[in-house]
Amino acid sequence: MSSVRVLVGTHKGAFILTSDGKRDKWEVSGPHFAGWEMYHLKGSPADPNRIYASQTSGWFGQIIQRSDDGVKTWVQPGTPPGEKPASGPPKAASNKFVYDSAAKPLTTHQWYDGTQHPWEFKRVWHLEPSLTDPNTVYAGVEDAAIFRSTDGGENWHELPGLRGHGTGPKWQPGAGGMCLHTIILDPSNPKRMWIAISAAGAFRSDDGGENWKPINRGLRSNYIPDPEAEIGHCVHHIAMHPKRPGVLFMQKHWDVMRSDDAGDNWKEVSGNLPTDFGFVIDVHAHEPETIYVVPIKSDGEHFPPDGKLRVFRSRTGGNEWEPLTKGLPQKDCYVNVLRDAMAVDSLDKCGIYFGTTGGQVYCSADAGDSWNAIVHDLPAVLSVEVQTLK
């Protein structure tokens, strides 16, 4: 029988939630890496027992963790615990993220006050394992850049063509920092991938990450000097259905957007949403035109409108939205749902999951019609991913 494993990153550790395919009874393990900010955990599509995790701290910096046995045990890639010291220089490089200033000069980006500021590595926001090779994984980092490891996370190398695109001096941090938070790999074309940066916008590579082009035509952001500029849009998240990789859905700072040509052009599909501000967006596993968002009141008030936590579903690829409320708090709810904190499983019916800054992780086992809280009281949830296990 199928089962699911939900990987939850929080401000104070990681939690693993498991259930059989009914998704009504759950086992909770954790906290793993207690006390650390766990920005993101994600399993390899090629080997579900291979899971990568970004462990980070303002005090101690970035750590990469890897499990090879379905989260029973973890190692820092390259430095198994208990290994005797070897001669020569320390070999642990799994937390070494150094911008490739040899290939591309390390230039500057725009700071909050409009001055130029040097690139400084802070943390890994998002880990995206290869669709085919468990040892290949991409990392989206702050300050914005993309790195790749081809040895299971032991060593990381920047794909410098993105940061060195030439528009870097115009990129600027959002309130959460200048982060590369979204990485999407095209299942139909191993050379094509998309990323998104707050606040620079969306980019696409058609040659395996060597060269990148901004894909922000159609985005309009009234909070930047030129609302339709090529660069500077605060994209919060992008989602794609794996069987229809030319169609992308975007939750921007304000506005829910859609592209039918792999990002070359975007159109707004906010339609009848009560507010089109938000962070998460995702696509139903079996219905490529069914999408989900969680509207948040505004950029100044990061909580649901009217204290009602509502997921909105569109079965028409946008514009026409219905509120999903059964099982979700409909009064006095003032949590946020962060950009990487929604995921879908591939069971039938499709399961939808999201975590909140109030520490709840909700699951719908019926594509959003009804919801149950798997857990109520975790630390603030930063990310949610789900693995569907056969």
Partner 1 sequence: MVRVILPQHLRALSHTGSEVQLEIHGPVTQRSVLDALEAHYPMLRGAIRDHETLKRRAFLRYFACEEDLSHEPPDAPLPEAVASGKEPFIVIGAIAGG
Classify residue 208 as left (phi > 0), alpha (psi -120 to 50) or beta.
Answer: left
Identity of the residue, 36 or 254, whose beta carbon is nearer to partner 1 in the bound complex:
36
Minimum distance, C-beta of residue 92 to partner 1, in the bound complex (Å):
4
Minimum distance, C-beta of residue 220 to partner 1, in the bound complex (Å):
37
- In terms of Cα–Cα distance, which of 58, 50, 40, 47 is closest to 75? 50
Q: Is residue 76 involved in binding partner 1 (CB under 8 A)?
A: yes
Amino acid in position 388: T
Judged by CB under 8 A, the stretch of 61-69, 111-119, 167-175, 361-369 that binds partner 1 is 61-69
Count residues near partner 1 (CB under 8 A).
22
The footprint of partner 1 on residues 215-274 (CB under 8 A) is none
Q: Which two tokens stand for residue 317?
A: 């690829």
Minimum distance, C-beta of residue 81 to partner 1, in the bound complex (Å):
5
Q: Is residue 59 involved in binding partner 1 (CB under 8 A)?
A: yes
Identity of the residue, 60 or 223, whose beta carbon is nearer to partner 1 in the bound complex:
60
Residues 14-43 as x/- pattern, contact with partner 1 by CB under 8 A? ---------------------xx-------
> What SS3 state is found at 160?
helix
Identity of the residue, 78 or 129, whose beta carbon is nearer to partner 1 in the bound complex:
78
- Given the structure tokens 């998460």, which residue do they identify? 280
Q: Is residue 96 involved in binding partner 1 (CB under 8 A)?
A: yes
Q: Is residue 57 involved in binding partner 1 (CB under 8 A)?
A: yes
Identity of the residue, 36 or 249, whose beta carbon is nearer to partner 1 in the bound complex:
36
Residues 99-138 as x/- pattern, contact with partner 1 by CB under 8 A? ----------------------------------------
Half-sphere exposure in the Cβ direction for 366 (13 Å, CA): 9
Amino acid in position 281: I
Q: Is residue 62 involved in binding partner 1 (CB under 8 A)?
A: yes
Residue from 54, 67, 95, 251 touching partner 1 (CB under 8 A): that is 95
Helices (H) and strands (E) in the chain, counts: 1, 29
Spatial separation of the C-alpha atoms in residues 333 and 312, rounded to whole Å: 16
For CA atoms 299, 303, 307, 308, give the dihedral sign: positive
Name residues whose C-beta falls within 8 Å of residue 1's C-beta, 6 or more positions apart in sequence. 20, 21
Classify residue 153 as left (phi > 0), alpha (psi -120 to 50) or beta.
Answer: left
DSSP conformation class of 32: E
Judged by CB under 8 A, the stretch of 13-21, 86-94, 193-201, 214-222 that binds partner 1 is 86-94
Q: Is residue 386 involved in binding partner 1 (CB under 8 A)?
A: no
Residue from 92, 106, 229, 389 touching partner 1 (CB under 8 A): that is 92
Residue from 2, 3, 49, 79 touching partner 1 (CB under 8 A): that is 79
Identity of the residue, 85 or 114, whose beta carbon is nearer to partner 1 in the bound complex:
85
C-alpha distance from residue 111 to each of 57, 100, 163, 172, 174 (Å): 22, 21, 15, 6, 10
- In terms of Cα–Cα distance, which of 340, 335, 271 is closest to 309? 335
Q: Which residues bind partner 1 (CB under 8 A)?
A: 35-36, 57-63, 76, 78-79, 81-82, 85, 90-93, 95-96, 98
